[in-house]
Structure 1
Amino acid sequence: MRLSILDQSPISSNQTAYDALNESMKLVQAGEALGYTRYWIAEHHDLPGLACSAPEVMLSYIGANTNHIRIGSGAILLPHYRPYKVAEVFNTLATLFPNRIDIGIGRAPGGSAEVTNALSENFLQQVWNFPILVKELLHFLDGDFPAGHEYSSISASPTPENPAVPWLLGTSKKSALLAAENGMPYTFGHFMSDNDGAAIIKGYIETFKPRKEQQTPQVIVTVSAICGETTEQAEEIALSNLIWSLQKEKGEGHQGVPSIEEAKKYMLTEKEMESLKTMRQNMIIGNPHEVKQKLFELQTNYQANEIMINTITYSPEDRIQSYKLIAEEVF
């Protein structure tokens, strides 16, 4: 099984954004040493507790401080940007770090309505145009606009020997079919979806149209997982993430991921207790054997080529230890 890392650069209640971004660096370095296939970093805007608003900046820093692990965005939120500029940025990264760059593409706003307005004009129109934006980006990355197209005479320089690999990220049938139509690898966000992911992936595989020779459907499933040496330890570590999720739903949690002690003191209503049960169902929490078993079940259910793990803990050491325990059990 191939395993990878999705990092949202969470800020714990005892950290600054500087601390969180540097912990992201330590995480990818640990992931590389442990044998993880790739590391993606997410894009969020003005969301308390999440440090990364510019994946392309962090990827430059990360690429310069790692050696071989694939690195990429999870995701660049394309409706905010012109495809040409995105292609230039990732062509530059692919030139600097050959055969290592992925460009994950998403359509979400990544922040509030006010942030969306500050980032881009006509966001909703650009979401509507998302299929056109995706096709345009692919043409810029491949340098293959048809003759006579308004952009056929320009290139998104520099031109790397091995272009960034474009992935489409989503949680819906619509996104999966768009990936299939364009011959793109697809990443399904299991950790943030209640949809029937297995059926969505089945539709993607069945309708896939290769964009290039010998291209086949490629599927990554992203899951939230926390592993401890024992089930009890994992449950305790996961409590910080779960309580923080509840706090964010209530418009709280601005101080970042709470400590385990703070999380234990949080007074839960009956409704919040039910919410916690639902959240746990979308997560994998357990000892190494339990986590491995659930990851393999997930891989089989989704027909996935790879599982990407998102882990949020209060302690950076607990986060790296979770990835370490999983790697030692699976690889």
Structure 2
Amino acid sequence: MKLSILDQVPISEGSSPQEALQETIKLAKLGDELGYKRYWIAEHHDMKGLGCPAPDMVLSLIGSQTNNIRIGAGAVLLPHYMPFHVVEKYNLLATLYPNRVELGIGRAPGGSAEVTMAMSANFLENVRQMPSSIDNLLHFLNQSFPKDHMFSKINPTPLPPVSPVPWLLGTSEKSAIQAAEKGLPYAFGHFMSDEDGPSIIKNYKQGEASKEALIAVSVICAETNEEANILAMDSKRWKIEQAKGEGNGVPDGRKTSHLTTEEKRQLASSDNKLIIGNPKQVRKQLEELQRVYKVDEFMILTITHNYEARRRSYKLLAEEFDL
């Protein structure tokens, strides 16, 4: 089984965005040393507790401080941007870090309705135009526009020795069908989808042009089950606060004195897709998901209030799977 890292650049309550970004660099360097395959950074806009609106800028730093791990966006939210500009930026990264750069594509707004309007006034129309935008992006990556097309006369320079590898990210049957039709590798967000993921992946793999697939999962790993469950309260409580429009960052889940009885009940039962446990238990759960999904790569998202606990979780997994 191959393991990769998904980083939303979480900002812990009481910490600063600068510290969160510094912790992202630390985690990327650790992931590189431990043998994780990929390090993807998510894009969010004006979302409390998440610190990265521009993955390409952070990836430029990560690439300079790592050697082997593949780096990419998880994902560039394409309806906000013109394909040419996206490919320019990722071609630049791929020129700096040859044969390591990946370009994940998504269609979510990544923020509130007001933020969406501030970024792209025609977002919904851009979503409808997503298939043609993907086509243009692929043509720019491959320099494959027909000779009579106006864009055949331009290039998203610099042109790297190896082009960024495009992926399509999604949480639904529609995104998987689109990935298969476009001949793109597909990343399914198991941790954030209520859809029948195994069926979606099965149907994707049956597409004639389908390629590799990976599954993104949320994991909390610690030396003991008790410690892992305590750490998991951080992200569980954060979800409750986000639902209420409260909280400025990932809270310390052990501090629950101000929660109502109902909120404490929700805290105890929330997020049944979160994988929690000691290394052997987490491995068992991932191997069960592997049997269900029939994939050989999982991209791990770990969010804890304590940054050292987050790094420790990834380290324990790497040791358990002998990466």
**Paired position in structure 1 for 2:311:** 320
Return the offset for 1:273: 2.2
Structure 1 stretches (4+) deviating beyond 4 angstroms? none
Q: Does 1:233 align with 2:224?
A: no
Structure 2 distance, partners of 1:64, 1:227, is: 28
Give 1:265's match in structure 2, choosing from 251, 257, 262. 257
Equivalent position SS for 1:137: helix
**Paired position in structure 1 for 2:127:** 127
Return the offset for 1:239: 0.5
Structure 2 distance, partners of 1:127, 1:274, is: 34
Q: Does 1:14 align with 2:5?
A: no
The CA RMSD measured in Å over matched residues stands at: 1.2
Structure 2 CA distance for partners of 1:178 and 1:275, relative to 1, 3 Å: farther
Return the offset for 1:180: 0.3
Letter matched to residue 212 of structure 2: Q
Number of residue equivalences = 322
Structure 2 distance, partners of 1:199, 1:275, is: 29
User: Would the aligned equivalents of 1:219 and 1:303 in 2 still touch at CA under 8 Å?
Assistant: no
Structure 1 runs not aligned, ≥5 long? 210-215
**Paired position in structure 1 for 2:288:** 297
Percent identity over the alignment? 52
CA deviation profile, 1:250-298 (whole Å, cap 9, x unmatched): 00012x1112432x3242443662465241x111000100000111111
Equivalent position SS for 1:261: coil
Structure 1 distance, partners of 2:300, 2:185, is: 17
**Paired position in structure 1 for 2:212:** 218
Bigger CA drift: 64-73 or 269-278? 269-278
Structure 1 distance, partners of 2:145, 2:70, is: 27
User: Would the aligned equivalents of 2:240 and 2:263 in 1 still touch at CA under 8 Å?
Assistant: no
Letter matched to residue 59 of structure 1: L
TM (norm. structure 2) is: 0.97
Structure 2 CA distance for partners of 1:130 and 1:252, relative to 1, 3 Å: same
User: Would the aligned equivalents of 2:236 and 2:270 in 1 still touch at CA under 8 Å?
Assistant: no
Structure 2 runs not aligned, ≥5 long? none
CA deviation profile, 1:149-208 (whole Å, cap 9, x unmatched): 221121111111111000000000000000000110000000001100000001111013
Return the offset for 1:66: 1.0
Give 1:244's match in structure 2, choosing from 233, 238, 249. 238
Letter matched to residue 257 of structure 1: V
Bigger CA drift: 37-46 or 200-209? 200-209
**Paired position in structure 1 for 2:70:** 70
User: Would the aligned equivalents of 1:246 and 1:272 in 2 still touch at CA under 8 Å?
Assistant: no
CA deviation profile, 1:59-100 (whole Å, cap 9, x unmatched): 111111111110000000000000000010000000000000
